[in-house]
Amino acid sequence: MLFTCDAGGHAARYRGGDPLMKTVIIGAGFGGLAAAALLARDGNDVTVLEKNEQAGGRASVHRDKGFTFDMGPSWYLMPDVFERFFAEFGRTPADFFELRRLDPSYRIFFGDGRVVDIPAETEKSIALFDTFEERGGEKLRRYLDSAKALYTITMNDLLYREYRSVLDFVSGRLLFEGPKLLHTFEHLDHFVGRYFTSDEAKKIVQYSIGFLGGAPSNTPALYHIMSHIDLTLGVFYPEGGIRAVVDAVRGLAEEHGAVFRFNEPATRIVVVNDRAVAVETSEGRYPADVVIVNADYAHTELDLLDGASRTYDAEYWSKRILAPSAMVLYIGLDRKVEGLCHHTLLLDRDWEKGFETLFDPEKVAWPENPSYYVNVPSKTDTTAAPPGGETLFILVPLAPGLPDTPERRQALRDRILSHLEDTIGEPIRDAIVTERCFALEDFAKRYNAYRGTALGLSHTLFQTALWRPAHRSKKVENLYYSGQYTHPGIGVPMTLISSQIVARVVGEEQEAPR
């Protein structure tokens, strides 16, 4: 391989005398990292432009006083997706990090005071459901059988496909088996009600909808697939945290020649004759044969492209149903906390009201008594906290677009910590040695997140598959998008799949100029 310089002073690469396709990727979240690794492997000249100081996007890392916090994703689900991604490079996750299955998978505090640990073994979960209601275990077994069947058809026929028309959605096996499995026009809360009557059972099989940024009342029943992912496939933890997965995917990209430029936000995608010819940043201009965007989709369309080059205008984004934002507390303690698991959910008795404050336009507000989530990675990971200390990640969902003030943050923070201390019967505040609060304005500032959403678009019926924003621009022929806004959607496994789709499509449609 030999190098030369183009007129802009940037290195151009050649392999076997032929120019490599210059691929510029905006954003080093999981979608950008995965796309960089795949396209560099395929022989492209890949440059990744990242606004922030580190890779990972929402999977950034915060460190202070010996404590290490994964700032975003904290659940390692769908291990088969990670296996399939690393297999693209002839590798396995075990080549990069040790994976441990959590048992219990997580703990739930219900609003009535009942505490339940969800076991890793499915048969034990089935037995647990017998304590909730008559024949609860039998009902769960049937529910999980349905979720497993749907998972199989989803993995084989839905997730790894690109959608250009409704014909792509109903073709092949889906045409015959899909209608009876997808429950397309039924919402999850109604579907769950056909199986279970107890509050505990319903909440356990519905809480995971939070991973998709939705509510049981607006999420299609097809997403009961999450219960198979959770209760059957299991909940895992990579030693070193999700940051270890970030490092692994970035390492693959760099191993194949991808170049990363940090602290260099993209300021403009230059389009000439309906082709993206360069990406401009605060530091310079990067010529491109292909541009792939992993940055916030709405920000890219509205701020980096001129009006004629946008697929989706401001009105489109204003009408989307956004997934929630959040207030996250990163807290380091100088002692251990006994009442919490690695993953702990605290569910309010009236959680329907909580969903109203997130999704009902007439009722959105900073919550009074929210359900929330606590992650304590130091229960599993020796690198997360100093000896004898504990690392807490406390996440409270918030509606996107709410006014965000220090006073509102402080009031909610105090209520949550009081509730947590009362619930587990242990003091927390007197042991705090480091604390950071991250909320709506921080999501908007650090990630250019539209209206401060933490996750992107919710998975409603008409924001699923074909109806999510497209992988390819409809106005710029060599501009592509990956990440949580696109199909298949929210979550680390989904963004890995999104980039596998994009890399395949780019390979089929684009080639380096001769």
DSSP for 62-91 reads: EEETTEEEE-S---B--HHHHHHHHHTTT-
Q: What's the distance, Cα to Cα, between the start and end of the chain in Å?
A: 17
- To the question of domain 123-233 being in CATH 1.10.405, the answer is yes
* DSSP H helical ranges for 224-343: 225-227, 242-255, 297-299, 314-318
What is the pLDDT tens value at each position of the chain, 514 positions in all? 333 344 334 444 544 445 579 999 999 999 999 999 999 999 999 999 999 999 999 999 999 999 999 999 999 999 999 999 999 999 999 999 999 999 999 999 999 899 999 999 999 999 999 999 999 999 999 999 999 999 998 898 888 888 776 655 555 555 555 555 556 668 899 999 999 999 999 999 999 888 788 889 889 898 999 999 999 999 999 999 999 999 999 999 999 999 999 999 999 999 999 999 999 998 999 999 999 999 999 999 999 999 999 999 999 999 999 999 999 999 999 999 999 999 999 999 888 888 999 999 999 999 999 999 999 999 999 999 999 999 999 999 999 999 999 999 999 999 999 999 999 999 999 999 999 999 999 999 999 999 999 999 999 888 988 889 999 999 999 999 999 999 999 999 999 999 999 999 999 988 755 4
What CA–CA distance (Å, rounded) separates 230 from 343?
A: 13
Asked whether the beta carbons of 325 and 441 are under 8 A apart, the reply is no
| Nearest by Cα to 240 from 427, 459, 447, 63 | 63
From the number of C-beta atoms within 10 Å of its C-beta (0-12, 13-18, 19+), residue 186 rates as middle
For CATH 3.50.50.60, the residue range(s) in the chain are 2-59+241-319+458-509
What is the layout of strands, in order, in the sheet containing 45-49?
Answer: 259-261, 45-49, 22-26, 290-293, 479-481
The encoded tokens of residue 164 equal: 């250009």
Three-state SS for 464? coil
For CATH 1.10.405, the residue range(s) in the chain are 123-233
Asked whether the beta carbons of 492 and 56 are under 8 A apart, the reply is no
Out of 3.20.20.70, 3.40.50.2000, 3.50.50.60, 3.40.50.720, which CATH number does the structure's domain 2-59+241-319+458-509 have?
A: 3.50.50.60
From the number of C-beta atoms within 10 Å of its C-beta (0-12, 13-18, 19+), residue 462 rates as exposed
Cis peptide before 403 (omega within 30 of 0): no
What CA–CA distance (Å, rounded) separates 337 from 431?
A: 10
